[in-house]
Structure 1
Amino acid sequence: MIESIQQFDLALFLKIHRGLSNGFFDWLMPLMRNRFFWSPLYVFILIFCIKQYKKQGYYIIGMILFTFASADLISSRVIKPWISRVRPCNDLTIANEIIHRVPCGSGLSFPSAHATNHFAIAVFLICVFYSRWKPILPLGLFWAFIISFAQVYVGVHYPIDVTAGALLGTLIGFICSRMFKKLQPDF
């Protein structure tokens, strides 16, 4: 059973990593996973929260940071060392199949911390702001998805890594949004 799941994961990885290979994605996907590329969005969220919601904006920012820290801690410090899965770009059995689009890094693969962190933040923001601004749902999910997809495309994660990260991040984001609403019931 586990072997057939791993074979499916590898086949899907290669379809995305090699099968979708093109010049546009080779340019775009490394940007999508780069934290500096998204810096203007992060700054916008900070300014928007403070300017629009004053004191409550600081609570929102604090909970975003708590959500991020929780997601990163659980994915990177708890689960990754326990599972200890090698990144595809460091897997010697498929070394000839890898297209090196970004530096691989020495970290572990399961779950994707990028996927966990960004889905956690996206779901937190969706849960907090959906009643006030409905477009946050598709925009937030697309943002987290494109970052996660880019991780597979550039070769640093398998599809199951990002799927597990997305599910874990969704759970963390939801729990943190419930905590925020208990702390700020009038929001």
Structure 2
Amino acid sequence: MHEIIQEDQQAFLYLNNLGSQPFDQFWIMVSATWIWVPLYVIFLYLLYKEYRVRNLIFILIFIALGVTVSDQLAGIFKTGIARLRPCHDPTLEGLVREVKCGGQFGFYSSHASNTFFIATLMSILLRKTHKYLPYLLFFWAAMVSYSRIYLGVHFPMDLIMGALMGFFLGGFFATLSLKVIYNRAKTNS
């Protein structure tokens, strides 16, 4: 385990130190939630077009539940595992290119979990009508995740675990959404 943590730290330092001050504001913006509000509005529109209002309400409930579960699980892991963020790790002092720093613990990343949750859920719900959307969504999720390394707040393993959790939760809640929509259509027939 010690070797894995060392490799994770080395990968982090390499990726983190690729950063450059002229790009700091861009990556701070990518990491911010508010900047993606127009994207969420587009998601809402696409879901409305595909599923209409009655089904959209159920989908939005599952999205809210899924993001809540994703976020809360990350919080439980952070305090339970208590792995210091790179910007708080005394063994990396002076080595981290710190642009921003978050709370004390970082395993696993809620940013990665939430963005991969949304990317997975949207990909499953819209795959029939928007075949290329998953490529864009997973690129977006990976970019948001990488921003966390750039800023100095997460190790790569934090992001990998967050992405995996988001992927599984997104699949689970998308499946629940489709099951409810299918059952409602069956009942109304």
Question: Using the alignment, how far apart are the partners of 1:91 and 1:114 within structure 2?
Answer: 20
**2:12–2:156 contact (8 Å) kept in structure 1:** yes
Question: Using the alignment, how far apart are the partners of 1:17 and 1:46 within structure 2?
Answer: 34
Q: CA deviation at 1:89?
A: 0.5
Question: Using the alignment, how far apart are the partners of 2:144 and 2:39 within structure 1?
Answer: 13
Question: Using the alignment, how far apart are the partners of 1:51 and 1:132 within structure 2?
Answer: 10
5 Å-filtered alignment, 1:20-39, equals 20-39=18-37
**2:112–2:144 contact (8 Å) kept in structure 1:** yes
Structure 1 match to 2:9: 10
**1:50–1:58 contact (8 Å) kept in structure 2:** no
Question: Using the alignment, how far apart are the partners of 1:140 and 1:153 within structure 2?
Answer: 20
2:122 is aligned with 1:99: no
Amino acid at match of 1:22: S
Instruction: Give runs of ≥4 in structure 1 deviating > 3 Å.
Output: 47-52
How many positions carry a matched residue from both structures?
A: 183
Question: Using the alignment, how far apart are the partners of 2:130 and 2:103 within structure 1?
Answer: 40
Question: Using the alignment, how far apart are the partners of 2:104 and 2:44 within structure 1?
Answer: 30
1:103-155 residue CA offsets vs partner (Å, 9 max, x unmatched): x1224210101101111111011111111211111011011110001001110
1:155-181 residue CA offsets vs partner (Å, 9 max, x unmatched): 000000000100111011011111111
Structure 2 match to 1:62: 61
Q: CA deviation at 1:41?
A: 1.3
Q: CA deviation at 1:51?
A: 5.8
Q: TM-score, normalised by structure 2?
A: 0.90
The percentage of counterpart residues that share the same residue type is 30
Structure 2: segments with no counterpart, 5+ residues: none
**Which of residues 26, 39, 45 is equivalent to 2:43?**
45
**1:67–1:124 contact (8 Å) kept in structure 2:** no
Q: TM-score, normalised by structure 1?
A: 0.91
Structure 2 match to 1:82: 80
CA RMSD of aligned residues (A): 1.7
Deviates more, 1:144-153 or 1:51-60: 51-60
1:35-59 residue CA offsets vs partner (Å, 9 max, x unmatched): 1111211233234434652221222
Question: Using the alignment, how far apart are the partners of 1:28 and 1:93 within structure 2?
Answer: 28
Question: Using the alignment, how far apart are the partners of 2:43 and 2:126 within structure 1?
Answer: 12
